[in-house]
Amino acid sequence: MKLFFASDLHGCLSATEKTLAKFDQSGADTLVLLGDVLNHGPRNPVPEHYSPPAVAESLNQYADRIIAVRGNCDSEVDQMLLSFPMMMDYSWVLLESGQRIFLTHGHLYNANKRPALKARDVIAHGHSHIPVAELNGEQFIFNPGSVTFPRDGYVASYGLLEGHELKVITFEGDIIASTKIS
């Protein structure tokens, strides 16, 4: 199973188009959206190329390949534009190895406030816009960063689960964080 992770698109069409192009190139089976899909939110500037309807139209072409969770900037109005469900606060992916990935945005659950997880489970979240791929205590923490508003000196990035490795990758192809989860 190969999973492609993106978070915090915030309605930016150019970032969404770059993300979908990388998803197509990656050969991943599923696009995992970790929230804050259409709305820029009150604490962020309006991004260049801001077009929530066009972002929704682009993502809807992949609706049958998307797993999405709700971010703190996502609302029921946003859901009306999307052909895939995205109003759940969390979801799960069960890997062939039996490991689980807990998918969430990060505003309710995150590395510091975890749900009940087993040892070696993964919590995948966005929200902070800061890339992470590491073992932290008994669980793995994975954050693909942000494709629209990277923070703390990082550049726009996305994530990939390939085999037993979680990677955060820049759009230029540089791996900025990775961890083996087996």
Question: Which pTM value belongs to this model?
Answer: 0.97
pLDDT beyond 90 at 16: yes
pLDDT tens track for 17-71? 999 999 999 999 999 999 999 998 888 888 899 999 999 999 999 999 999 999 9
* Residues above pLDDT 90, as percent of the chain: 92
pLDDT of residue 38: 97
> Structural domain boundaries of the chain?
2-180
Distance, in Å, from the CA atom of 106 to the CA atom of 88, rounded to the nearest integer, reads 13
**Whether the Cβ atoms of residue 71 and residue 105 lie closer than 8 Å to each other:** yes
- Would you place residue 72 in the very low, low, confident or very high pLDDT band (cuts 50, 70, 90)? very high
Q: What is the arithmetic mean of pLDDT over 136-148? A: 97
Give the model's pLDDT for residue 39.
92
pLDDT score at 158: 98
**CA 37 vs CA 17, 67, 77, 84, 168: distances in Å:** 13, 12, 12, 12, 19
Predicted confidence band of residue 74 (pLDDT cuts 50, 70, 90): very high
Q: Residue 136 has which token pair?
A: 């932290």
- Work out the mean pLDDT of the chain and round it to a whole number: 96
Residue 42's pLDDT is what?
Answer: 84
pLDDT of residue 97: 87
Q: Is the pLDDT of residue 15 over 90?
A: yes
Tell me how far apart the alpha carbons of residues 67 and 103 are, in angstroms, rounded to a whole number.
9
Enumerate helices (H) and strands (E) in the chain, giving the number of each. Answer: 3, 11
Spatial distance between the Cα atoms of 111 and 1, rounded to a whole number of angstroms: 24
d(CA 125, CA 7): 8
For the domain 2-180, what is the CATH code?
3.60.21.10
